[in-house]
Structure 1
Amino acid sequence: MLSKHFSRRQFLFATGGLGVAALAIGVLPKFAGRSVLISEAEASEVFEVTHSDSEWHTLLSDEQYEILREEGTERAYSSPLNNEHREGTFACAGCDLPLFSSTTKFDSRTGWPSFWAPLDKAVATRVDRTFGMVREEVHCRRCGGHLGHVFDDGPKPTGLRYCMNGLAMTFRPV
């Protein structure tokens, strides 16, 4: 007969087994917004613009820090840049590198500023295995700041949707 309750030993054994399984398949909990284990590629990345953690806190608002440095996500439809329709350039809020032209912006109806292509040599991507799924994370190639993710459900000519956090960027009108 099966017991309705786990003993402490059974509980620890079961949760430990789940943790080992999660580790084996790359599904890891996040600690302070970052994956507990950092990929070898991420650990070896070197960026042109670097700051200490306290310097980043000084340079960015709390919300920007959470997104750019801890890979957070802003609430959908909360960014004024989602409704920015003027001609201009969207730049990294961490280092001011121009990232996207307004000519590639489109309304994806997702609640985040979306683009079908970045500017040349503006962004880099890496595999993001958080939350039990595999996605392509987009980050600023100069400071490594987390911008959002890229998906393959965008419009022509690229078919890509760079779904960006508005707080990770600034806008400069032409």
Structure 2
Amino acid sequence: MSMIVKTELNRRGFFAYSSAAALTVGVSSRAMALEAEGASDYQYEVIRTEAEWRAQLSEFDYAILREGKTEKQKSSPHWNETAEGIYHCKGCDLPSYDGKWKVVLKKGWAFFYHAVPNNVLTGIDGIIPPEYGDSAAGFAALIETHCRRCGSHLGHLLIVEGIQTHCINGASLVFKSSTT
């Protein structure tokens, strides 16, 4: 079974410059504006108690989808999946990413150029801590992607290899092949 990365230092440190770059190209401007406007009051369509979430998800999946943890690199079979199909949110089955927008990068997570329109929201996922040793530490934040319907954590918006991508935990997704 895959293990949850106990610290997000390696992944976040590795991608810190990506998130800072994303901030400079305006990726998070709407997210910041929504947070400033009080959009934290957003009402999700699917609402479950903690007990209901825990009954539906494994402990590993719960840590990622509900607590915002990150899976270990290359621990999900979705990271290098190339079949045609749709990736759905594991929390509520909302179609979130189309396989035709997926790009396989050797970083070890599932990367997509963009999400299914209107099905993924973004938010600020905390300021990069100074101990990460990044010049943006204390000022820039990672931009989280989460499900519009149930609020489950999916991953982050990042610039990787010069391309803005959605870097998504495979554990957040259920793949439904269009060829079967």
Question: Normalising by structure 2, what TM-score?
Answer: 0.69
Give the counterpart of 1:52 among 13, 31, 49.
Answer: 49
Task: Tell me if structure 1 keeps the 8 A contact 2:122–2:144.
Answer: yes
Do structure 1's residue 125 and structure 2's residue 122 form an aligned pair?
A: yes
Task: Tell me if structure 2 keeps the 8 A contact 1:105–1:116.
Answer: yes
Give the counterpart of 2:81 among 81, 84, 104.
Answer: 84
- Deviation >2 Å, runs of 4+: 38-43, 152-155
Larger radius of gyration: 1
Between the aligned residues of both structures, percent identity stands at 37
Distance change (3 Å), C-alpha of 1:40 and 1:99: same
Task: Tell me if structure 2 keeps the 8 A contact 1:92–1:169.
Answer: yes
Task: Tell me if structure 2 keeps the 8 A contact 1:122–1:140.
Answer: yes
Question: Normalising by structure 1, what TM-score?
Answer: 0.71
CA RMSD in angstroms, aligned pairs only: 2.0
Aligned length: 134
Deviation at residue 131 of structure 1 after TM alignment: 4.3
Deviation at residue 163 of structure 1 after TM alignment: 0.3
SS at match of 2:109: coil
Aligned equivalents of 2:122, 2:86: Cα separation in 1: 20
Give the counterpart of 1:99 among 91, 96, 100.
Answer: 96
Q: 1:128-167 counterparts in 2 under 5 A?
A: 128-132=125-129, 133-153=140-160, 159-167=163-171
Task: Tell me if structure 2 keeps the 8 A contact 1:76–1:112.
Answer: yes
Q: Which runs of 5+ in 1 are unaligned?
A: 1-37
Do structure 1's residue 173 and structure 2's residue 177 form an aligned pair?
A: yes
What letter is aligned with 2:176? R
Q: Which of the pair has the greater relative contact order for Cα pairs under 8 Å at 6+ separation?
A: 2
